[in-house]
Structure 1
Amino acid sequence: MRKSKFTEEQIIAILAEQERGMSTADVCRRHGVSSATFYKWKAKFGGMDVSDARRLKTLEGENAKLKRLLADAMLDNVVLKDLLGKY
């Protein structure tokens, strides 16, 4: 997945510009992002402040790690069941 050239803090600042009354098209043009990207950011970060965004990023990282651990455990379980079934 491609890394964004904007940090969470910058994204929240961009969204705040639009909330303060600047038009969406002007904000997108000024920062060089598409309107689709802007609305995707708004869906994810809308109404958040910087500390909330950092917490969200931390939780997403933990969630990804837990999903990998679960997948590994399930794979181990399948391998053990196959071994027991052969004997």
Structure 2
Amino acid sequence: MARKRFSDEDVLNLLRQFEVELSSGSDVASACRKVGISDATYYTWRKKYGGMGKSQLREMKDLEKENSRLKKIVADLELDKLILKETLDYLKPKA
């Protein structure tokens, strides 16, 4: 079976549909069958996106983007630090 990728917005919409299905008396397995995903996928999504709105999702994406940008900056600074340390060791007079 081909693997299908859902966008974050699609996941939020599907979770809302799940809530409607479950509130109408359906069980998790039949709701998953209707949407076409496994139970494990449902529980993973619920753990990650449960209770989240679209604005919170947007904020989470912005924070993840900012976090990756800051990690790149730290990596560059660490590399510069190592280069300067090696240069200093090379230029130190040997006794």
| TM tier relative to shorter chain | 0.7 to 0.9
Q: TM-score by structure 1 length?
A: 0.81
List, as ranges, runs of 4+ consecutive aligned residues in structure 1 with deviation greater than 4 Å.
none
Identity level (%): 39
Question: For structure 2, which runs of at least 5 residues remain unmatched after alignment?
Answer: none
Q: TM-score by structure 2 length?
A: 0.75
- Structure 1 residue 31 displacement after superposition: 2.3
Question: Aligned residue for 2:48?
Answer: 44
Larger relative contact order (C-alpha < 8 A, sep ≥ 6)?
1
CA contact (8 A) 1:9 1:50 kept: yes
2:6 is paired with a residue whose SS is coil
**Which of 65-74 and 33-42 deviates more?**
33-42
Specify the structure having the higher radius of gyration (Cα).
2
Question: Aligned residue for 1:23?
Answer: 27
Question: Aligned residue for 2:10?
Answer: 10
Question: Aligned residue for 2:85?
Answer: 81
Residue type matched to 2:8 in 1?
E
Tell me whether 1:65 sits opposite 2:69 in the alignment.
yes
How many aligned positions are there? 84
Tell me how large the CA RMSD over aligned residues is. Answer: 1.7
CA distance in 2, matches of 1:70, 1:45: 29
Mark the CA change 1:13 to 1:67 in structure 2 (over 3 Å): closer, same or farther. Answer: same
Question: For structure 1, which runs of at least 5 residues remain unmatched after alignment?
Answer: none
> Which residue, 51, 54, 58 being the options, matches 2:58?
54
